[in-house]
Amino acid sequence: MPSPPKSPTIGIRYISDAVKSDHRLLERLYAKLTSSSSPTTPSNTTTATSLDHQRALCRRLAWELGRHLVAVELFIFPGTAHRAKQGNAAARERQRDMAQLRGELRALSAAAAADPAEDEARLTTAVGELGEHLLRRHIRDVERVDLVNIENVLSAQESEDLARDFERTVYFIPHGVREDDGEEDGFGVKAPYSSVEGLLDASPGELRAAMKKFPEE
């Protein structure tokens, strides 16, 4: 079976490493996006080409974050919803945070699909709100609390196995989204969802069923 195309987590051993690798990728993409939309960008580069590049960055960030969120909810927070119903305050807070981040992601995805030349303010707002939550809350809380907790209860082998499953969620990203995936079609794996919204709307059972069709190695 083929390996995930251009996976940023190839060779990683533990689930915490896999999640942190995702976080570093998201931070890099966000930095590129905010840099590309900076008002210090020379005016002669503010053309259809630069707008297309900005839209492509938005689209990739939306897909990478969408994949990351469903992976976290499948493999890091499997009991969050259940604990929230039982009254666990920390679980309720985490559930609210994830719901907020999903909402901000939907806004970014919608802004990326619109014409940035006609609705630049909408895109700028979506990017700003996402970055505020993504960089200051989600990444911080997951790395400082959740990953520490999960590694404390997993054996080395369990952590490796979980990281392998986490990595396989790369196949949720459609061909052509990644900037360096020119050979991706050779893997013969079609992404099961055609939009970020479709991925976010899928139930855990639907996501797991889709993953059964993904390559194991």
Q: Average per-residue pLDDT in the chain?
A: 80
Asked whether residue 2 is domain-assigned, the answer is: no
Asked whether residue 64 is domain-assigned, the answer is: yes
24 lies in which domain range? 15-211
**Nearest to residue 78, comparing CAs of 192, 154, 137?**
154
Asked whether residue 1 is domain-assigned, the answer is: no
Q: Could you tell me if 29 and 64 are in contact, meaning their C-beta atoms sit under 8 angstroms apart?
A: yes
Asked whether residue 113 is domain-assigned, the answer is: yes
Asked whether residue 9 is domain-assigned, the answer is: no
pLDDT digits (tens, 9 = 90+) for 31-84: 988 887 654 444 444 555 677 788 888 889 999 999 999 999 999 887 555 555
pLDDT digits (tens, 9 = 90+) for 85-112: 666 777 677 788 889 899 999 988 888 7
Quote the number of domains for the chain: 1
Q: What is the CATH number of the domain that holds 151?
A: 1.20.120
In order of 6, 92, 93, 132, the CA distances from 122 in angstroms are 31, 30, 28, 16
* pTM (2 d.p.): 0.82
pLDDT at 5 over 80: no
Asked whether residue 67 is domain-assigned, the answer is: yes
Asked whether residue 216 is domain-assigned, the answer is: no
pLDDT value at residue 39 = 47
Asked whether residue 7 is domain-assigned, the answer is: no
